[in-house]
Chain A
Amino acid sequence: EIVLTQSPGTLSLSPGESATLSCRASQSVSSGYLAWHQQKPGQAPRLLIYDASRRATGIPDRFSGSGSGTDFTLTINRLEPEDFAVYYCQHYRYSPFTFGPGTKVDMK
């Protein structure tokens, strides 16, 4: 089983700043089968990034994903008020398709 660790647990930032979220896997996520999801309170998750760096349909270009192997990063440039949420990384290389514990981006 691939265990995903996310850091930091909480990121306190102001609108207009940039956010860098980290996701580390316990073993290689080969072929970049790594996704990032955003979840706001009371809402379903929303796919942001798949295959480590591909933006999902309709996702603004201020969101970008990078990384390979065991280390992955989600970068959010110029935070907008609607970007304050919880972000989860997830691998889909093989079962079990585990999620990380999440990083909360809140407003300073």
Chain B
Amino acid sequence: EVQLVESGGGLVQPGGSLRLSCAASGFTFSSYEMNWVRQAPGKGLEWVSHISTSGSDRYYADSVKGRFTISRDDAKNSVYLQMNSLRAEDTAIYFCARSFAVWGQGTLVTVSS
């Protein structure tokens, strides 16, 4: 069964850092581009970041550029999102997605003092 499972969310103070993980199973992870998408409470979907199959191409939404870093470890079938300098407006459920075709259930990040 194709599956994506996110972890690493939680409560963090403004200015703090958090690292999200997404563990993949049921498919050849190294063959797929991966994305992070977030959804603030009661709002729509916002694309956050993309990483290519080789990891050589990485893209970010303007809202997170310079603060977030996407990476992948094909040996561990995982993609990561390192989030620094967190702001209240980063509060959201963060989903990982395989080429936008398969989605995880998400992990909640709350930025609050």
Query: Are B100 and A96 neighbours in the complex by a CB distance under 8 Å?
Result: no
- A45 → chain B closest CB, angstroms: 5
Is A56 interfacial (CB-CB < 8 Å)?
yes
Partner pick for B101 among A43, A47, A86, A101, CB 8 A cutoff: A47
Query: Are B95 and A45 neighbours in the complex by a CB distance under 8 Å?
Result: yes
B 35-68 to A, binary, CB cutoff 8 A, 1 in contact else 0: 1010000001111001000000001011000000
Partner pick for B106 among A35, A44, A47, A86, CB 8 A cutoff: A44
With a cutoff of 8 Å between Cβ atoms, the chain A residues found around residue B46 in the complex are 99
Quick one: closest B residue to A39, CB to CB?
Answer: B45
Secondary structure call for the A interface: loop
CA separation between A92 and B33, bound complex, in Å?
A: 12
Among B44, B95, B104, B105, max chain A CB count under 10 A is at B44
Quick one: closest A residue to B46, CB to CB?
Answer: A99
Query: Are B100 and A47 neighbours in the complex by a CB distance under 8 Å?
Result: yes
With a cutoff of 8 Å between Cβ atoms, the chain B residues found around residue A56 in the complex are 101
Partner pick for A97 among B35, B102, B103, B106, CB 8 A cutoff: B35
